[in-house]
Structure 1
Amino acid sequence: MKSKYIIIGLLLVFFASCKDDFLDLSSNESLTTATYFQTEDDFTAAVNGIYTPVRQWMGPLGDVGTSPSIMIGDMHSDLARYYFNPNYRAGSDVENIADFVPEVDRFSSYWTEFYTWISRCNSVIGYIDDASFDADTKSNLKGQALFFRAYSYWWLHRLYGQAVLHLEPVSTLAETSKELSDEAAVKAQIIADAGEAANLLLGKAAQQAGRVTKGAAYMLLADVYMWYGEWANAESALKNVTGYSLLTNYADIFNPANKNNAESIFEIQYSSASADYSSSFVYNMFPFPSTAEQVAVWTGVSNPEGLTEGEMMAVPTPEFLAAYEDGDARYAATVQTVQNADGVETPMCSKYLHPHSTFKQSDDDYFIYRYAETLLFMAEAINEQGNRIDEAKGYLNQIRNRAGLENTTASSQSELREAILKERMIELAFEGNRWWDLVRTGSVQEVISSYGAKVKANPLDYYFVGSQAPVPTAFTDFSTVFNLPDDEKLYNPYVD
């Protein structure tokens, strides 16, 4: 779909309504924006509608088969890859992403996904100030819309390095096309939106579970400042992330029985009660082929089906597995060894594997921010400011000690820098962070070229089968920003 027409199609934004649970959505398609945005219920329903595409993005999107966040953040790195299935070639696009094969349009299809979010956010932000209802409720709703607009532009900013800044509801054809804004302008808008959201949003204790909070907005601000090496600003933002604590047991963080726990700053909500709201990304992490009996053992579902048409995704790499220290309690919560129907044994990501009742309808949520990352960011921000290494190690050691490990042995700023990056790889594995860490630390060329050489030299160690191997152009594209979609270039007169 052409991006121009996607934005036009969103001129009249229709959102789902909310009753007791903001996951329970119903349609208001007979209403236009002119008559719809009047009451508190209207804006509550509109904000609920912002969460819908976010949930779809973090879960399997379209034909991708796996979470785009995990595919970009983990498979497009040295942390995870795929298990080559010669009988299923529909996954070649994801394979190329994992193998850094040159592609002109890599990730360009996601451009329109974020403008769907942005359009919905703008419809709330643009009308809510003129509505008459409780001021505190209004502030909280506007804060949520501002957070998601900032978060949407944060994705666009990192993927493409530029964006078209749409900050008001689009009401005419002429408004659908605008000039590209440069990196500095997009960064400034993200900071402005996230900062205002932080002032408007409720804290965790007061906010409805599953909605974004003041802490999430400050984490987004810190994320931006960390990206640009603005360490003092990052530290300042992180100090405002309060009211959270580490869980004692790492595995408990991800158990659906502990949704929105004390460590959770913001997680995308899924419910197994409905196919529309459930998560299923773990099913693309299982080996192929697998029998229905195997699926039943792994998941506990009462209606298991065999897994035949597909390819195992997000498979832990040898580099990732080797990064664990002896005695690290996170290993058992993150990785387990499984066999496919042919008896071939392989490691799989088990972080999102918990018993559920119905095939491909899991309760597992997806984390955007949790308190462990706050501590790791704080360790890094303090270390990079110099002369505070002991203070920085204190934050890192909280993460290590929770995992059953001794304090770090790093004794210099450079050693601690490496230790923090490694700890982030392990602690935040399969939460979509590794690629972005490599980009912001300038490590892509060094890490991925070394990793790629190993894959090419020993393809069987990296889950190829028989005589199969990476394509000749694998591990030759180390781009850190990607091309805009051709449709945007074609239909937006301001884009070359």
Structure 2
Amino acid sequence: MKNILFVLCALFCLSSCEDFLNLSPDSQPNANDFYKTESDFNGAVMACYQTLRSYPTMVLEVLEYRSDNMYMPSFTSGSQDKYEINHFQDNKTNSLIADIWKNSYSAIFRCNVVVDRIQGAGINADKKTQFEAEARFIRAFHYFNLVRLFGKVPLVIHEITDDEALKTPREDVNKVYEQIAEDLNFALQLPSKYDKSDLGRVTAKAAEGLLAKVYMTHGKYAEAKVRLNNIITKGECDLLSDIKDVFDVNNEMNKEILFAVKYSKTLINGGHGMWLSLSDITLGHFSSVLKKSYDVDDKRAELIQYKKTGSVYLPVKFYDTQDVSTNQVGNDFIILRYSDILLMYAEVLNELSFNTDVTSKESGFYYLNQVRNRSGLSALTSVEVPSQGEFKKVVLHERYLEFPLEGNRWFDLVRTGTAKETIKAAHNIDVSDFRLIFPIPSAEVEKVNNPDILPQNPEY
């Protein structure tokens, strides 16, 4: 039973969810006939989860290469798009950026189908709320990525026709954030946990954690504080004593994980290929700046070292062995974990008030030091960090050491206004202001063919 999430996802997604919008032959049910039972809607929700499987590609080929975590000195055949992103030379025809836009809106479409069609469904009320909340969480997650990557984006929260899509304008960033927050507040109704058969579904704490990150990113620190404090005081999550255990494939969905993309390497199409595998570790792209940033006692340094598995090498953070039947690996991809909650809380408390009492639960030091101590580093005090501004820099640096390969760094640099100076120091690249967001894919702009509806981002 433990793999039911993968099985349902695989069965439902053999045909794309979009196919249900088209009228089908009389011998097959059309969309209106399909969404009737609890099982139907559960399958539709699984199709929403399935869209998250592309998220690691976005992180590892776009977000990490946009940051100072990775550096490509040159490109080989097939890696030019990634090189251009890494060197801030990307343009509106970059295929990796186009895939993010396409995959995100395809995912949002699936979520909208669930949200719209479940309204009149004659199913169990609790399940009805759960399914809508799951779909709205996933929709919010995709919009959160889109608005941070592209700025203003079309905001579509209902099923629409192709013609309507071509007439949907880019929405103000604040309006997009309002919708994201609305969806995540609804998702707070989700269960706090599931039994093993449903392990990996979104929980209330995942919704609250993502909502906190949304508020913090949007500068709403008081609202973020409430959500982060709720998670911490409930005691449902905790730091594991050894950080390597967080990423151990035999210890997935442990107490530190709030939400992760689930995989199973023993199921056909249930696992994935090896992330960042190398046949020659000298060809790795971890930046020298990142590798040199770790103190000799920092246990996290090992996670970006390479370890051999079969004939190739993998980062320890993503280490697994291939299944002999499927030739896949099955690491989950962690989206949100408890150390992120603690470091966000440290940052938020500091933004609201600089408190030098390291023993106070109203001091950012209290939460920052929990993460540092777990990593083998000594606690910091106001002697080493004497001001609010210095504390902000220290938390940003701690996040740098804690979350490489997890998709946080580029977004952290942009929201703290430190992207340009950081990339210049790390790679000696001058980053223009307009490159703090990505271009709208040219295919999408040309499809709409109306600058009043879908204009290109300036200077692209």
TM-score, normalised to structure 1, is 0.79
- The structural deviation recorded for 1:83 is 6.4
Say yes or no: does 1:318 pair with 2:301: no
- The structural deviation recorded for 1:439 is 0.3
| In 1, Cα distance between equivalents of 2:149 and 2:74 | 26
Report what 1:374 is aligned to: 341
> Is the CA contact 2:71–2:86 (under 8 Å) kept in the aligned structure 1?
yes
Provide, for residues 51-87 of structure 1, a one-character-per-residue CA deviation record: whole Å limited to 9, x for no partner: 11211332xxxxxxxx2212332221111234646xx
| In 2, Cα distance between equivalents of 1:19 and 1:128 | 26
- The structural deviation recorded for 1:119 is 0.5
Report what 1:401 is aligned to: 373
**CA distance 1:248–1:476, shift in 2 (3 Å):** closer
- The structural deviation recorded for 1:42 is 0.5
Say yes or no: does 1:352 pair with 2:318: yes
| In 1, Cα distance between equivalents of 2:113 and 2:242 | 41
> Is the CA contact 1:102–1:476 (under 8 Å) kept in the aligned structure 2?
no
| In 1, Cα distance between equivalents of 2:306 and 2:73 | 15
Say yes or no: does 1:427 pair with 2:402: yes
> Is the CA contact 2:307–2:316 (under 8 Å) kept in the aligned structure 1?
no
> Is the CA contact 2:91–2:439 (under 8 Å) kept in the aligned structure 1?
no
- The structural deviation recorded for 1:380 is 0.3
Equivalent position amino acid for 1:351 in 2: K
Report what 1:257 is aligned to: 250
Q: Equivalent of 1:335, from 292, 305, 329?
A: 305
**CA distance 1:93–1:387, shift in 2 (3 Å):** closer
Deviating more after overlay: 29-38 vs 139-148:
29-38
**CA distance 1:147–1:119, shift in 2 (3 Å):** same
Report what 2:81 is aligned to: 93
> Is the CA contact 2:146–2:153 (under 8 Å) kept in the aligned structure 1?
yes
- The structural deviation recorded for 1:452 is 2.2
Deviating more after overlay: 436-445 vs 381-390:
381-390
Report what 2:142 is aligned to: 152
Report what 1:362 is aligned to: 329
> Is the CA contact 1:287–1:338 (under 8 Å) kept in the aligned structure 2?
no
Where does the alignment leave 5 or more consecutive residues of structure 1 unmatched? 1-17, 59-66, 291-310, 342-346, 454-473
Report what 1:418 is aligned to: 393
| In 1, Cα distance between equivalents of 2:151 and 2:162 | 27
Report what 2:42 is aligned to: 44
- The structural deviation recorded for 1:285 is 3.2
Aligned counterparts, 1:443-454, within 5 A: 443-453=418-428
- The structural deviation recorded for 1:323 is 1.2
Deviating more after overlay: 89-98 vs 356-365:
356-365
| In 2, Cα distance between equivalents of 1:98 and 1:317 | 11
Tell me which of the two structures has the higher relative contact order, counting C-alpha pairs closer than 8 angstroms and 6 or more residues apart: 1
Report what 1:467 is aligned to: none
Report what 2:25 is aligned to: none
Secondary structure, aligned partner of 2:6: coil
**CA distance 1:383–1:34, shift in 2 (3 Å):** same
Secondary structure, aligned partner of 1:22: helix
**CA distance 1:312–1:117, shift in 2 (3 Å):** farther
Equivalent position amino acid for 2:332 in 1: D
| In 2, Cα distance between equivalents of 1:278 and 1:40 | 27
- The structural deviation recorded for 1:89 is 2.0
**CA distance 1:20–1:436, shift in 2 (3 Å):** closer
| In 2, Cα distance between equivalents of 1:197 and 1:415 | 36
| In 1, Cα distance between equivalents of 2:34 and 2:395 | 49
Where does the alignment leave 5 or more consecutive residues of structure 2 unmatched? 16-27, 358-362, 456-460
Report what 2:69 is aligned to: 79
> Is the CA contact 2:62–2:82 (under 8 Å) kept in the aligned structure 1?
no
- The structural deviation recorded for 1:360 is 5.0
Q: Equivalent of 2:11, from 10, 26, 37?
A: 26
Equivalent position amino acid for 1:261 in 2: N
Report what 1:204 is aligned to: 193
Deviating more after overlay: 215-224 vs 172-181:
172-181
| In 2, Cα distance between equivalents of 1:206 and 1:337 | 34
> Is the CA contact 1:382–1:389 (under 8 Å) kept in the aligned structure 2?
no
Report what 2:414 is aligned to: 439
| In 1, Cα distance between equivalents of 2:379 and 2:327 | 40
Equivalent position amino acid for 1:394 in 2: Y
Secondary structure, aligned partner of 1:81: coil
> Is the CA contact 1:267–1:365 (under 8 Å) kept in the aligned structure 2?
yes
| In 2, Cα distance between equivalents of 1:400 and 1:72 | 28
Secondary structure, aligned partner of 1:373: helix
Q: Equivalent of 1:222, from 198, 204, 212?
A: 212
Q: How many residues align?
A: 421
Q: Which has the higher helix share?
A: 2
**CA distance 1:174–1:363, shift in 2 (3 Å):** closer
Q: Sequence identity of aligned pairs in percent?
A: 28
Secondary structure, aligned partner of 2:321: coil
| In 1, Cα distance between equivalents of 2:268 and 2:401 | 31
| In 1, Cα distance between equivalents of 2:98 and 2:161 | 25
